[in-house]
Structure 1
Amino acid sequence: MRPDDWHLTEDVDNFLARAGDFLRSRPGLHVMQLTWAERVRTRTTDAFGAETPVFGVLERAGEARATFYRLPPGALGLSPLTPEQADSLAARLAALGHSLRSVSAGHSTATAFAEAWQRHTGAMPKLRDTRLRLYRLGTLTPPEPLPSGRGRVLGEQDLEQVMFWCGEFAKAVGEVVSIDADSWASTRYADKRYTLWETPDGTPVSIAGMNPLIGGQIQVDIVYTPAHLRGLGYAGAVTAEVSRAALAAGARDVVLFADLANPTSNALYQRLGYRPLTDWAVYDFSRAVPEVR
């Protein structure tokens, strides 16, 4: 496979014209490709700073076979690749002088690319400790019994409350991000729709978000309950509510990521009807240390 079989573009509309049908054919495995293409398409041109996101399509006989995106300042995301495809992409990006800080994909794809990138550039890959599993919803099975209270979809009038909860979530997962009225629109949290679980007296106890409908699919993205309120059924209730909202919004597929280090959440999602789709991995790259002679 030749490295120049990869078509690179900074035009996201061109990328989607070439690869859209391919991505939508397996939306679960392509969730990050679809999500970031949509974010780049709908955000302002300066949302990513001075550098422009790059997209790529591997084409054979006029058909898309694989894709990637590269976000500033060097985060690479991949659709499933064979080792040969991963090597051809690494060769192409290295020849063009692209620098990479990380690669994320299904575990086997990320590993194949990390090894190829090391061969072509000498960059040393390090597997992140956080291990994720991607789930897809089968038949939604709400928990029984539900905790007392109700689910409520949050609207524009709830923005202050949404920002507070997203800030709490970001701190809990170690994400360094400013979330306030001035920065909100530029964060990854701004394009989501949120569902809150609140107790009968109106006290909010758990929140879940979902991304927009893209390619017939919705990703549930953030589920958060404060530590002192966990174990009371609130996370299961709010996840069931946001999953129901996703289906009501027209999603044929509903997916979410879970941290494999948290067996409680993984067991919860499976009780709700989510089934494993693939394990996910992220490698960070650093330059090789020159040998001292």
Structure 2
Amino acid sequence: MAWTLSTSLDDFRTRAGGFLAAHPAENTVLLSVADRLATDGPTAYGEEPPRFGWWRPGADGPVEGAYLQTPPYNPRLGLMPAAAAAALAGAFVEAGAFEVGASRGMASGGMVSGVMVPGAGAAAAGRALDGVSGGKAAVRAFAAAWCAATGRRSAVQVDELLHRLVELVPPSPAPAGLARAARAAERELLIGWFEDFGAEIAVDFHTSPDAVDRRIADGTLHVWEDAGRPVAFAGRSPVVAGMSRIGPVFTPPGLRGRGYAGAVTAAASAYALAQGAAEVLLYTDLANPTSNSIYRKLGYRPVEDCLAVTFHN
């Protein structure tokens, strides 16, 4: 079993692109992030270069696992067997990809399961691994291996469920108002909403202003308007490999319970279908029964249990 670690987006897409596209639901985050990096460049998510990896069960076998990271965000695991996830933790230690203790690992590259990875660790030298996310089985296997190797402990940050749209059922009756694209004049309001959403789910959206500007410019931020004012929004990723993902979805606390979130999600979903998406996906927090109920009524059904964990001493 061998992991190849790289800082080359081109290599990642060449080697792992077919695997990602063959499993667009389970690899939804990797597909959309790689697409944005290809469009906006390596600093789209932060100043540090992105990092990538792909896994083969044998030296000449097909790719059957992949991950990526766009610092300062934690690594995201795509579809992979649990054994590959555990091996990735070992590969990180061997390559010196993250700080794991006194002079442990290699800072400028190394052998990862027999594969030379020049510079794979240099990009992250001195940075601790704060967490990881992805499919639940893979994340648990990675966390167990990482904690065994480093002496750190893990804690669940969020327990999620990935959903696929089976058949869109718009809310009936619909709430007052209508869906439309977000406008540049609403920029400051929407940035605030992005940050409020991040605070609610304990995620720091480091690039909220840029994300809002980009989504307004490319028409992937949908607003529900009632009585002439925005009352909710839903984001939508561009269609990649036949897949589009809805999110984030947010209604300010004082406007909840009126059906706005369901209506704007339905509108964003319909637009994704109109753009040619064969797979329309979204994530829900299992701790939020309200949102899970809303999306089920819209026609979304479970695909995969997912998990985000944090690491601490």
Q: What's the TM-score once normalised by structure 1's chain length?
A: 0.86
Whether 2:177 is the aligned partner of 1:143: answer no
**Alignment partner for residue 209 of structure 1, among 223, 231, 235?**
235
Percent identity of the aligned residues? 36
**Aligned mates of 2:88, 2:266 — CA distance in 1:** 39
Deviations along 1:34-87, one digit per CA (max 9) or x if unpaired, are 122223323344455553221011123341111111332472211233232223
Residue 291 of structure 1: aligned partner: none
Deviation at 1:177, TM superposition (A): 4.7
**Aligned mates of 2:182, 2:161 — CA distance in 1:** 27
**Alignment partner for residue 21 of structure 2, among 24, 32, 35?**
24
Bigger relative contact order, structure 1 or 2 (CA pairs below 8 A, ≥6 apart): 1
**Aligned mates of 1:249, 1:157 — CA distance in 2:** 25
Residue 4 of structure 2: aligned partner: 7
Residue 245 of structure 2: aligned partner: 219
Residue ranges of structure 1 left out of the alignment (5+ in a row): 288-293
- CA distance 1:91–1:170, shift in 2 (3 Å): closer
- CA distance 1:162–1:39, shift in 2 (3 Å): same
Deviation at 1:228, TM superposition (A): 1.8
Whether 2:115 is the aligned partner of 1:118: answer no
Residue 214 of structure 2: aligned partner: 190
Deviation at 1:236, TM superposition (A): 1.3
- CA distance 1:74–1:275, shift in 2 (3 Å): closer
Residue 255 of structure 2: aligned partner: 229
Q: Output aligned runs, 1:1-293, within 5 Å.
A: 1=1, 5-47=2-44, 51-59=48-56, 60=58, 61-73=60-72, 75-99=74-98, 100-128=129-157, 130-156=158-184, 158-177=186-205, 184-185=209-210, 187=211, 190-191=214-215, 193-199=220-226, 201-287=227-313
Q: What's the TM-score once normalised by structure 2's chain length?
A: 0.81
Deviation at 1:98, TM superposition (A): 1.7
Number of residues paired by the alignment?
278
- SS of 2:63's partner is strand
The answer to whether the Cα contact below 8 Å between 1:162 and 1:194 also exists between their aligned partners in 2 is no
The answer to whether the Cα contact below 8 Å between 1:166 and 1:189 also exists between their aligned partners in 2 is no
- CA distance 1:233–1:49, shift in 2 (3 Å): closer
Deviation at 1:28, TM superposition (A): 0.6
The answer to whether the Cα contact below 8 Å between 2:242 and 2:277 also exists between their aligned partners in 1 is yes
**Aligned mates of 1:178, 1:127 — CA distance in 2:** 21
Q: CA RMSD in A?
A: 2.3
Residue ranges of structure 2 left out of the alignment (5+ in a row): 99-128
**Aligned mates of 1:217, 1:87 — CA distance in 2:** 28
Amino acid at match of 1:150: L
Deviation at 1:134, TM superposition (A): 0.8
**Aligned mates of 1:174, 1:209 — CA distance in 2:** 18
**Aligned mates of 2:145, 2:74 — CA distance in 1:** 16
